[in-house]
Amino acid sequence: MAGAVMQSPIQLEQNEAENIERIRELKRARGDSLIILAHHYQRLGVHRCGDVTGDSYQLCKAAASTQKARHIVFCGVRFMVTSAATLCRDDQVVYHPDRNAGCPMADMANLPQVTTSWLELSQVVQASRVVPVVYMNSDLDLKAFCGERGGIVCTSSNASKVFDWCFARGEKIFFFPDEHLGRNTANAKGIPRSQIVLWDPKQPFGGLSPQQIRDARVILWKGYCHVHTRFSLEMIAKARAEHPGIKVVVHPECHEDVVAAADFSGSTGFIQDYVRKQMKAGDKVAIGTEVNMIHRLAVEHPDRLVIPLVRSLCPNMFKISTQDLRDCLENLDSWEAVKADPREKQHAKVALDNMLACTG
């Protein structure tokens, strides 16, 4: 099977080539004053138009460090775009080609819930002993909540370093909104299961007893990504039965049993590097992450077998088409800019800067 290109579940957009040509023309006209950032889960055509492509950490760094660009067009979901708007300079403007592209996982934690949970925690343990960690996949007000309380942002590529940073400053981590990234990171750190607890925001005190809270080192919010929790042990067994010798690589937003059964687990940047740098012609890999990225890697590497464990698509990442990007660039001067609330920006920047400083 090596050499076969995975059949795309995704139809090429109409006028794709024409749109890409027009986008390149518009970029040339703007020169260095414009930069396009594109996440790895974006559609193939949109990804090809990115000046910088990467996972959310890489794009966050790119937004924070771009010098010449005054206009930053971000092809990703809302939480990424507001993070870029927080990190950029005051003379820079951030644009989102489709403001409706959100993230259901980010919506699983909101500020009133997190504030209530924090107050409840504080009734059982000293708040100064707890470090709040918010996954990049969250609204800006939650990043600000963390920044105000000496906390930090993390992504799937730096969660391990962020845990070290936290335990140098406190005894417990309060991690939201993705249970699975937090659990997989805690497992990799060798934290005993009895010290990892699940906080259900719909229940008083997260559904935990005071003793469970006191004993915990990692308190995980009950949230998840529907794209990554689809993957199962049965899918891994099937891939291995159908393709002897195949490797399995999954994202850490997957269930812990799936991560344990895989050969490797890592961020989208890690997965891309695995296919590009670790594999050679004839090698086989089944991947547990968003299908657009797997499709792109398969197209880029026709000499190796790159298949999904199952086709799991993020409808929000899929929202931006080359037509949307073209419309945004053609109307850039009147396109609505993404602006961060000044107070949220000030505090969220602290938590984002903590992450950038701790992970380099």
Helix %, strand %, coil % for the chain, to 5?
Answer: 50, 15, 35
Contact residues for ligand SF4, defined by CB under 6 A: 77, 103-105, 137, 225, 227, 290, 314, 316-317
- Between 105 and 218, whose beta carbon lies closer to ligand SF4? 105
- Between 10 and 124, whose beta carbon lies closer to ligand SF4? 10
Structure tokens at 151: 């906390």
Minimum CB distance to ligand SF4, residue 72 (Å) = 19
Helices 56-65 and 342-359 sit at what angle, rounded to 10 degrees? 110
CA distance 245 to 76: 34
Structure tokens at 90: 């005051």
Q: Coil, helix or strand for 104?
A: coil
Minimum CB distance to ligand SF4, residue 29 (Å) = 31
- Between 42 and 354, whose beta carbon lies closer to ligand SF4? 42
Minimum CB distance to ligand SF4, residue 325 (Å) = 18
- Between 85 and 208, whose beta carbon lies closer to ligand SF4? 85
- Between 35 and 225, whose beta carbon lies closer to ligand SF4? 225
Minimum CB distance to ligand SF4, residue 198 (Å) = 18
Structure tokens at 341: 């609330």
Minimum CB distance to ligand SF4, residue 105 (Å) = 4
**Residue 94: closest CA among 124, 71, 113, 75:** 71
CA distance 358 to 327: 38
CA distance 266 to 300: 20
- Between 34 and 352, whose beta carbon lies closer to ligand SF4? 352
Minimum CB distance to ligand SF4, residue 57 (Å) = 13
Helices 78-87 and 56-65 sit at what angle, rounded to 10 degrees? 30
Cis peptide before 315 (omega within 30 of 0): no
